[in-house]
Structure 1
Amino acid sequence: MHYFLTNVPERTQKPRDKGFTMAMDKGLSVRQAEDFINVCGEYVDIVKLGWATSYVTPNLNDKLNVYREAGIPFYFGGTLFEAFIVRDQFDDYRKVLDKYEVPFAEVSDGSIELDHDLKCNYISKLAEQVTVLSEVGSKDAEKIIPPYKWIELMQKELDAGAWKVIGEARESGNVGLFRSSGEVRSGLVQEILTKIPFEKIIWEAPQKAQQVYFIKLMGSNVNLGNIAPEEVIPLETIRLGLRGDTFDHFLDQK
């Protein structure tokens, strides 16, 4: 940091197991990725190439090299996994991970109906190859999953070999963990936390109010995902109590 302030929360250091920021690349150019890492790399723990954007992104490997050289892991969004699965191309998906030396994989079922035992089997198989993130929650705003089911699904996916589980919100933040307005389903979140350790969850929280909610609830070192590149530094100031939304929250902490 450029100067000293007291009563600033202590942030975990990279490589982090908690306090994780997952940034969303929705189609950055190679130059934009370079600029993004130059400014924000210190605060980014992993980059997700959103949904299936890697399928159509020009100069894909050149961009991935930007992340590799910065020491920032990356992965392709869960929707790409689902696109392979619905076409019965799981082995082809595994070959893609090898071809592009992708260190992480996201296993999700937000867009397809997938038997949960089969999903856990995919997690177990992929965990032999890469580090697995699994996503719980539907992209269908009409599909409401009760809290006990979120807990059951998350625990089974962790048991199957997922490193962390992701709470679904989409890039817009208006499904899954959130109401269509973007409001947090706070009862759901707090019930999940009675059973699943907070460091095992990445909460997708693209909207500022959502980020503020999770930081106030769980502290600076909560894992947050689907953060837009231009929001990474603003998020870090929220984590540190240096933006109006959390300005008073950490002042009394020693």
Structure 2
Amino acid sequence: MNYRLNNLPERTVKPRGKGLTMVMDKGLSLREVEDFIEVAGAHADIVKLGWSTSFVTPKLKEKLKLYRDADIPVYFGGTLFEAFVIRNQFDEYQRVLDEYDMRFAEVSDGSIEIPHEVKCQYISKLSEQVTVISEVGSKDEKKIFAPYKWINLMRAEIEAGSWKVIAEAREGGNVGIYRDSGEVRQGLVDEILTQIPEETIIWEAPQKAQQVWFIELIGANVNLGNIAPAEVIPLETIRLGLRGDTFNHFLNKK
């Protein structure tokens, strides 16, 4: 940091096991990635190349190298996994991961129907090759899961080999753990946290109000995902109580 302030919450340090900021790259150019790393790389823990954007991204290997040289893990979005699976090309997906030297992979079923035991088999298989992050929840706003189902799905995927489970919200933050207005389904989150350790969950929270809500609930070191590159530094100030939204939240806490 550039100067000293007292009474700030203690942040975990990279490489973090909790307090992660997962960034959504929806098509940054190489120059934009360089600028992002220069300004916010110290606060970014892992980058997702959103949905299947890696398929059409020019100079993909060069982009991946920029992130890796900055010690920022990067992975392809779960929709790409689904695109391979629905076409019966899972083996080819594994080869793509190797070709691009990917160390992480996302397993999701937000766009297609996969029996959950089969999804867990994919998680188990991929966990022998890479570190797996799996996503729970549908991208269809009409599909609302009961809390017990979220818990059962998350628990099974962790047991199958997932390092972290993502609570689905899409890049807009208006499905899954949120209502279509963006409001948090508070009862759902509270119920999940009675059974699933908070450090194993990445809550997708693209909207500032959602970020504030989770930081006030869980603390500065909550795992948050789908953060826009330009919002990484603003998010860090919210985590530290240095923005109006959380300014008083940490002042009297050690």
Judge same fold: TM > 0.5, yes or no: yes
- Could you list the structure 1 runs, at least 4 aligned residues long, displaced by more than 2 angstroms after superposition: none
Aligned to 1:233: 233
Aligned to 1:90: 90
Aligned to 1:105: 105
Quote the Cα distance in structure 1 between the aligned partners of 2:58 and 2:4. 43
Letter of the aligned partner of 2:16 in structure 1? R
- 1:23-172 matches, within 5 Å, as 23-172=23-172
Quote the Cα distance in structure 2 between the aligned partners of 1:89 and 1:213. 40
Q: Deviation per CA, 1:20-57, whole angstroms, max 9, x where unpaired?
A: 00000000001100100111110000000000000000
TM-score by length of 2: 1.00
Aligned to 1:246: 246
The alignment partner of 1:163 has SS state of strand
Letter of the aligned partner of 2:177 in structure 1? L
Q: Deviation per CA, 1:153-204, whole angstroms, max 9, x where unpaired?
A: 0000000000010000000000001000000001000100000000000000
Question: Which consecutive unaligned segments of at least 5 residues does structure 2 have?
Answer: none
- CA-CA distance at 1:3 after TM superposition: 1.0
Quote the Cα distance in structure 1 between the aligned partners of 2:33 and 2:95. 25
Letter of the aligned partner of 1:127 in structure 2? S
Letter of the aligned partner of 1:2 in structure 2? N
- CA-CA distance at 1:116 after TM superposition: 0.2
Letter of the aligned partner of 2:46 in structure 1? I
The alignment partner of 1:132 has SS state of strand
The alignment partner of 1:236 has SS state of helix
Quote the Cα distance in structure 2 between the aligned partners of 1:8 and 1:113. 45
Quote the Cα distance in structure 2 between the aligned partners of 1:72 and 1:2. 22
TM-score by length of 1: 1.00
Aligned to 1:208: 208
Q: Deviation per CA, 1:120-175, whole angstroms, max 9, x where unpaired?
A: 00000000000000000000000000000000000000000000100000000000
Identical columns (%): 72
The alignment partner of 2:155 has SS state of helix
Q: Deviation per CA, 1:59-113, whole angstroms, max 9, x where unpaired?
A: 1111111001101110000000000000000000000100001110000000000
Letter of the aligned partner of 1:225 in structure 2? G
- CA-CA distance at 1:219 after TM superposition: 0.2
Letter of the aligned partner of 1:33 in structure 2? V
Quote the Cα distance in structure 1 between the aligned partners of 2:106 and 2:137. 13
